[in-house]
Amino acid sequence: MRYIEITLCLLTLIAFGCNKQKEPVKSPFSNIDTLSTNDWWNRSENLIVDLKVDRDDVVAFGIYTVSNKTLKLTAQLFPLYPDESREVRLEIYQHEIWREIQRKKINEIGWAITFRVENWDDSKDIKYRLRHSDNAIFEGMVRKDPKNKNEIVMAAFSCNSNKDRGDRENYVININHIDPDILFFAGDQSYDHQEHTAAWLKFGMQFRETFRERPCITIPDDHDIGQGNLWGENGKIASSSAGNDGGYYYHHEYVKMVERAQTNHLPDPYDKTSIEQGIGVYYTNLLLGGIDFAIIEDRKFKSGPKGKIPQQGPRPDHIRNPDYDPKSIDMDGLKLLGDRQLKFLSEWGENNSIMKAVLSQTGFCGGAHLHGSEENRLHADLDSNGWPQSGRNKALKLIKGANAIHIGGDQHIATVIHHGIDDYEDGPWAFLVPAIVNNYYSRWWWPENEKIIDNPNDILPWTGRYKDGFDNKITMHAYANPDTDSNGAGYGIIKFNKERKDVTFECWPRYEDVRLNNPKQFKGWPITVSLN
Give tens-digit pLDDT for 312-342.
888 999 999 999 999 999 999 999 999 999 9
User: Do β-strands 370-371 and 443-444 pair in parallel, antiparallel, or remain unpaired?
Assistant: antiparallel
Edge-first strand listing for the sheet containing 490-497? 216-218, 182-185, 151-157, 490-497, 502-509, 527-530
- Give yes or no for residue 13 having a pLDDT over 70: no
Q: What percent of the chain is predicted at pLDDT more than 70? A: 94
Number of domains in the chain: 2
Q: Are residues 506 and 422 in the same domain?
A: yes
137 located within any domain = yes
CB 528 within 8 A of CB 503: yes
Give phi and psi for 184, each to the nearest 5.
-140, 120
393 located within any domain = yes
* Peptide linkage before 447 cis (omega within 30 of 0): no
- For residue 118, the model assigns a pLDDT of 98
Q: Are residues 121 and 229 in the same domain?
A: no
Out of 97, 126, 142, a domain closes at 142
40 located within any domain = no
Give tens-digit pLDDT for 246-257.
999 999 999 999
- Give yes or no for residue 311 having a pLDDT over 60: yes
Give tens-digit pLDDT for 265-299.
999 999 999 999 999 999 999 999 999 999 999 99
- For residue 302, the model assigns a pLDDT of 98
Give tens-digit pLDDT for 187-209.
999 999 999 999 999 999 999 99
- Give yes or no for residue 15 having a pLDDT over 90: no
- For residue 14, the model assigns a pLDDT of 41
**What DSSP assignment string belongs to 229-247?**
S---GGGPBPSSTT-TTSS
Out of 142, 157, 174, a domain closes at 142
Q: Are residues 336 and 438 in the same domain?
A: yes
Give tens-digit pLDDT for 452-499.
666 666 789 999 999 999 999 999 999 999 998 899 999 999 999 999
Residue 181's SS3 state is coil
Give phi and psi for 4, each to the nearest 5.
-65, -40
Mean pLDDT across 8-16: 41
Q: Which helix (H) or strand (E) holds 527?
A: strand 527-530
Closest to 444 in 3D by CA, of 521, 374, 364: 374
312 located within any domain = yes
Closest to 139 in 3D by CA, of 57, 254, 262: 57
- For residue 453, the model assigns a pLDDT of 64
Give tens-digit pLDDT for 219-229.
999 999 999 99
- For residue 190, the model assigns a pLDDT of 96
Q: Are residues 221 and 119 in the same domain?
A: no
- For residue 11, the model assigns a pLDDT of 40
Which stretches within 270-383 are classed as H helix? 338-348
Q: What is the CATH number of the domain that holds 474?
A: 3.30.750.180
- For residue 458, the model assigns a pLDDT of 75
4 located within any domain = no
Instruction: State the burial class of residue 376 (Cβ atoms within 10 Å of its Cβ: 0-12, 13-18, 19+).
Output: middle
378 located within any domain = yes
Whole-number average pLDDT of the chain: 93
Q: Tell me the residue length of the chain.
A: 532
Mean pLDDT across 113-122: 98
Q: Are residues 226 and 366 in the same domain?
A: yes
- For residue 6, the model assigns a pLDDT of 38
- For residue 45, the model assigns a pLDDT of 81
Give tens-digit pLDDT for 399-447.
999 999 999 999 999 999 999 999 999 999 999 999 999 988 999 999 9
- For residue 21, the model assigns a pLDDT of 41
Q: Are residues 237 and 355 in the same domain?
A: yes
Q: Are residues 274 and 126 in the same domain?
A: no
331 located within any domain = yes
30: Cβ–Cβ under 8 A, 6 or more apart, which residues?
Answer: none
Question: Sorting pLDDT into bands at 50, 70 and 90, what band is 27?
Answer: confident
- Give yes or no for residue 16 having a pLDDT over 90: no
- For residue 26, the model assigns a pLDDT of 83
Closest to 137 in 3D by CA, of 191, 212, 40, 37: 212
- Give yes or no for residue 73 having a pLDDT over 80: yes
Q: b/e for 302-323, b at 16 or more Cβ within 10 A?
A: bbbbbebbebbbebbbbbeeee
Domain that holds residue 467: 217-530
Give phi and psi for 174, each to the nearest 5.
-65, -45
492 located within any domain = yes
Q: Are residues 239 and 131 in the same domain?
A: no
Question: Sorting pLDDT into bands at 50, 70 and 90, what band is 3?
Answer: very low
355, HSE (Cβ side, Cα atoms, 13 Å) = 26
